[in-house]
Chains A and B, each alone.
Chain A
Amino acid sequence: MVDLKVSNKEAYYQQTLENTPSKTPFAEFWRKFKKQKLAFVSFFFVVFLILMAFIGPFITPYDITEPDYENVLSGPSAKHWAGTDAYGRDIFSRVLAGTQISLYVGLTSVLLGAIGGTFLGIVAGYYGKRIDSLIMRMCDVLLAFPGILLAIGIIAILGPGLGNVIIAVAIFSVPMFARIVRSSTLAVKSTLYIEATKSIGTRPKRIIWKHIFPGTVSSIIVYFTMRIGSAILTAASLSFLGLGAQPPSPEWGAMLSGGRDYLNIAPHVTIFPGIAIFVTVLAFNLLGDGLRDALDPKIKE
C-alpha cells in the first residue's frame, strides 16, 4: 500500500513537472491493460498468430499437400516435429499453414457479424418504438436456434464449404452484437450531452456517428475479441462435422476429423491440430477478458 502511494505521488509530480494534460483515455486503458499479465502475454501471442497467418504458408518446412507414402503416420521426430498424417504429410507444416484459415474465418465472420449487429443495434436503440421491436423480435428468432444450430441450419440451406461457414458464423453473431450495442446505445442516448446536442438541432445521422457510435465502441471491442475465440471454435466444429473446410485443406477442424480414424495407432495426428485450436482460442479469450477489465470503468483495481 505504502509503495503504491509513493509511486502515485511520483507520477503526480512527474505530470505536473512536465505540465502534461491529464491522462488520455488510451493511456489510462494501457496502464490498466499492462497490469493484466495473462492478457498482456495473450496480446503478443495474438500478434504472433496474425504474423504466422501472413507468413506461415511460406515458411512451412514441407509441402503441405505433397503425399509421402514412405512416411505414413510416423510419430513426432527430429525430422517431422509433429509427425506425419495418413498420407505422410508433415503435420507441423499443415498446422502452421492452417493458422491463416482459422484466423481468416474467425476475423471475417465476426467482423461481418459486428457490422450488421452494430448497425441494427444502433438503429433499434436510437429510433426505438416499432423499428426497435421489429429488430429485436428478429434477433429473438435467430437466438431461438441455440449455439451452433443456427449455423448448421444456414449450412443446410447454403451447402457445405468454408465460405458458407463464414456467412453462417457471421449471421449467428449478428443478434448478440445487436443486443449489446442496443443496450449501450440506450445508455448513451439518455445522457445529458446527447440531450444538449439534440437541443441545438443536430441531425440524427450526425448524432449517431459522432456521439452514439463512439460511446458504444468499447463494448463492441470487448465482445468482438471474445467472439473471435468462439467463432474459431464454431468454424472448427463445423469443419470437423464435414460441413466446413473439406480435405485436403489444412483447416484444423478438418485435420482433426481426418485423424479420427487413426486415433488408436497415431494419436499425434489428432493431438496437434487440437492443441493449435485450443491455444489460439485461449489467447483470444484471455485477451478479451483483459480488454473487458481494462475498458470497464466499473471494475476498480
Chain B
Amino acid sequence: MKSRFLFFIKTILNSYAILFFSQNSVLGGILLLVSFLNPLAGMSGLCCVMFTAALIKTSGYQREHIQTGIYSFNNLLLGLAFGTFYQFNMYYVIWLIFTALLLLMITVVLAERLGKLGLPILSIPFILCFWILLLSADSLFKIGLVSKSSVVMQEVYGATANLSYLHNYLSFNLPDLLCLFFRSFSAILFQDNIITGACIAIGLLIHSRIAFSLAVLGFLVAHGLNASLNIYPDDISYYHLGANFMLATIAIGSFFTIPSIRSYLWAIACIPVIFILINAFSVILAAYNLPVFSLPFCVISFTLLYFLLLRKDVAHLQLVKLQHYSPERNLYQFINQQNRLNNLQYFRLRLPFMGSWTVSQGYDGNITHINDWGKALDFVIEDEDKKTFKFPGTLPEHFYSFNKPVLSCGDGVVANVVDNVEDNAIGIENLLENWGNTVVIKHIDGLYSKVSHLKKQSIKVKIGDTVKQGELIGLCGNSGRSPEPHLHFQLQITPYIDAKTLSYPFSYYVSRKNEQERMASFTIPKQGDVVNPVAIVNATAKAFDFQPGYTATLVGEPGVNEQLEVFKDEFGQTYFYSITSGATAYFINDGTQFYFTSFYGSHQSLLFLFYLAAYKITFTDNDHVVVHDVFPLHLLNNKPLLWLQDFVSPFFRFINLTYRAVNPPPKSGAIQSTQVKQVFGKQKILMEATISLANDNIQGYCITVNGNHKNIEWVKSNTY
C-alpha cells in the first residue's frame, strides 16, 4: 500500500517536473506549489494529473512509463490552461473531464506511434486538444464555457492578493531583464508572475546546472536578437512566447543530446528559427483566433531531433540513448561508458598460444603484411638475447616456437583446415602453398580467424568441429611461406584461406616492456611487443560469477542486512537488485573481468559500497597487473564542487574520479581497490576497500569512504 501511494506521489511530481525534462521531486514540488498562485488553474491541473494517473494506472499501461509522467503532463497543461482561460462553473467541470479523456487518448496513441520512431510527443497532444476545445467553445453553438476577460486574466496572472505586494516590490526593484526572465519562466504555467518564475528558476537550478545555464543562454540570445532586430516591441515576453526559446534551448542543448559545445551551438542556432516560426504560426492561427502556445518549440525540437536521428555515422553531437532525465547524469554516464564500454562491440578474442611470444611482424609490417593482407600478426618466441632459436638453429626443432601448442582464439566452428604441407627446412620458403598448414575458425557471421604455417599433421580439429576458446587446435610449425618457424594470425570476414585481412583487437592480454607488465584490453599488439595471455585464476572468476537467481545477504553492523538478488533484464543485461534498499547495479562479467556499468538508488545502501569497491575486478593474481578505471562524476559527494563542475562540464572536466585495484601479495584471495579524486591534478583518496575471497566465494569487504569504516560480510544464500 505504501509503495503504491509513493508511486502515485512520484507520478504526480514527475508530471510537473517533466515540463522541464526532469524527474526531480524538488522541482516538481515547486512547480506544483507555484501553479496554485492561480488557484483555479492549479487545482484543475492537479486534478487532471491525478485523474489521468489513476485512469492510466487502472488501464494497465507500462508502470515505468506512467511514473515518468509522460502520459500525464499534457493533461497537467490542459488543467492549467483551462483554469487560466475559463471561469469556473458546472460546464467547466464536465468539459474538463472529457477533454482530459480525449487528451489522454491522443497522448497514448501519439506516444506509441512516435516512440517507435524514437521521437517524443512533447506538448503536441495538449496543443491539438486545446485548439479543438477553443474552436469548439467559440463556435456558434455554445457549450457553456465562459472566457475570462483579459482584465481578469491580467489580475490572475499578476498574483493573488496576499502576494501582490511582494510581486509589485520585486518588479519595482529587480532589473527589468531579470523580471522578464522570471516572467518568461512563469509563462510555462500560463502565468505572468515574477514570483512563480523565480521559484521555477531555483527549482531548475537544483535540478540541473546545465539546463539552467542553457535557459539563461536561450533567454539572453533571444533577448539580444530581439533588441538588435527590433522584432517585438514588448521584448520577448510578447504574448508569453519567451518560454519557447528557453524550453527549446534546454531540450536541444541538454535533454535530447549529450550536452557539448556542439549541442549548445545548435541550441543557439535554433533561436532565430523560432522567431520565424512564432511569426508564421501567429499569422496562420490568428485566422482561427488560436494561440500559438509552445508550438514553435515543439516544431523545432521535433524537426531537429528527427534530423539528427537519421544520421548513419554519428561521430559528434550524440543523442541521448538512455534517458536519465538529468543532463549532468546523461553527460557523465555517457562519457564514462564511452570510455569503458566501447569495447562491448568486439567479439572477445584471446592470444592463440600460451606463454610469452613476441610480435615479429605487426600490422602493415614491411615484410609480407602488405596491402590487403596487411592486418596480420606474426608471432615468435624469443629468449633474453632476442634470439628465436637454440644453437645452432639449423633445424626447425631448434626454434623455440616450433612444436608449441596453438590454441583457438575464441569459440567457434572450424571452417577450413589444411594439414598436409611439408614443413620447410630453415631458410626455405614454400611460395606455392603460401599459407602452409592452416586452420580457419568461424566465430560469428563475418568474423573468421586464421592461424597459419602450422606443423604438418599436427592439427587436432577438422572442418565442422566446434572449438572452445583456448582449445588446442594444432602445433606451431614451419610450413608455407615461412623461412623459420613462426605463427601467423589474422582475422578475416570470409572463410577462404587466401582471404584479405581485417583489423581487429584482442580482448585482453598482458604485455611486457622493460620488466614492467601491463594489461592491455581491446588493443592490437604492435611489432616488437612481448605479449602473453592473461592467466585467469579460476577461484576469483568463480567468486564473481553471478548468474541470475544468485542471492546473497550483506551483513553490515549487526541488524543492518541487505538482501541481494541477481536478475537479467529484457536486453540481456545482468544486475544486482537490493531487495532491501531498492538499489540496482548493472554489471558485466566477460570471463576475464567483472565490472559495474551503472548504479541507481541510494548511496547509503551496502550495494553501493560494493559497487564502489568492486567497480572493476580482473580475475588474475598477477601482482604486477593494476586495474585502472574511471567513475562517472555524478558519484562525487562534494556537491558544491560538483555544481561548479556541472556548469562547465559540457566543455571540460577538471574533476576526475579514478579507480584502481591490485592483488596485494601478502594474502591470497584479496583484492584492494581505491577511489581517487583528482581536481586539477590534485589527488585525494576517497575510498579504500579490500575484498576478501575464499572457497570460490566472496567472503566480505572492508571499505572506508570519507573516513567512515565499514566491515561487511557477504553471505551467499544459495548454491547453484
Query: Do A and B bind?
Result: no
Q: Which of B's residues lie within 8 Å of A, judged by CB?
A: none
